[in-house]
A and B are shown apart, each in its own frame.
Chain A
Amino acid sequence: MKKILEIGLGIVTSVGGFLEIGSITTAAQAGASFGFQLGWSIVLGTLCIAFLVEMSGRFSAVSKQTIPDAMRERFGANFFAVPLFVMLGVSLLVLAAEIGGVAVAVEMATGISFPIWALPVALLSWALLWKTTFSTIENGVSLLGLVTIAFAVGVVKLHPDYGAVARGFIPTLPSQDKSKYWFIAVSVLGASISPYLYYFYSSGAIEEKWDESYIGTNRAIAAIGMGFGGFLSIAVLILAAVLFHPRGISVEHYQQLPELLSGVFGRKGFWLVIASLAIACLGATLEIALSLAYLVAQGFGWNWGEDLAPRDDARFALTYTMLVLAGSLFALFHADPLKLTQLSMALTATSLPIGTFPFLILMNDTKYLGKHTNGHIGNAVVMFISVLSGVLGLVSIPLELIGGG
């Protein structure tokens, strides 16, 4: 019974925590610009993150170690420095985009320009990290994040052509705007396969003292939770494809996002999008800041733990403090949150192999996993999607930046 409750809670938090600024924006852009045609990129991204989350939970449950911990001892400090700095750099941009996302949501609610809200949002995020425990963050914010289910309800009310939606799950080549098509595809992949998510999950398994008996629970949470999460991203794509695409509207500003639901629910829809954006981005801000602090603390062997008081892990607590502050500076100095989101998602996808390849080596090492090492399917899926993301990113980012196509 306890396990069933844990699976239920795990799925709810995965669903509630799946959507954030990256997945909402990129799915909306995909739907607005290309109708249902980019549905496949969300399916691939969700498949890959489901496998990665399952692997990270299994890794920590069996080895009792976190990924950064094992990566440093297995590959040495000189190698570990590469994923450490790449992840810190890219995820700091994602963190900045999420803080910008909360600030933009408050701007839309109050009419007061988003840079004003950067520091208050940072202060709120920091206070939650400073004062609360891991489960409060994981369960509390993710439960509130269930408001994002409104996107799925919106789709049901719209009655889209489900046959056309399904055809979008098969990859096809674009007939026009090739560079934009691939750039959005890469951004969607980056938004779905956020490395901070599985680092966070791995540390969570240690914080919650998982052991081998959790392997089944972990598998159910990863498959169902991430599956439903991906379903919500697809819902955003469908809404944009039905409401924006036929009218030739592309998503250029955040202010367009409320139309995704106000077209279905009226004024209530406007507030649902704002609440979804604010809560989802706040949740992601907390998870990214914690995830990066875990990465640094575990890499250097410091005392760490969200359940410890800040005075007992001063370096860990000050690391997330500095990260939240640094992340808020982008919005404070008027960095366009939409452009920042697009760029950070594309960079996440491009840099994916740097983190996933060493992780796959760990996942196949019997010293850590005994008889629970990866199967061929898991290895092949993660390897294929990581390489695809990396290659597409390397090709499409320069093309998008020079405006080719």
Chain B
Amino acid sequence: MGGAVRHAARGRRHVDGADSGGFSDRVRAAATRFAQTWAEEARCLERQAESQADRLRAAVRTYLESDQVTAQKFVVLVPHLEEGRR
């Protein structure tokens, strides 16, 4: 999810930096609010993606650990194995 974090950060910068000075007096405040709202939404998405990435990393760790445990158990098991066919 690192890609999503970067994309979301990029999206936030584009709205966060939007200058609302070109709008008429009646519209300017809404334009500023809009940019702030979506910069904040992009921040939320960044946080979600970051948390998702953390969980993915945890899943990867779990896979690797269980893989390792299985491998160790197999090593322990090998001396006790013998050919069953006569």
Partners in one complex: no
| A-to-B contact residues, CB < 8 Å | none
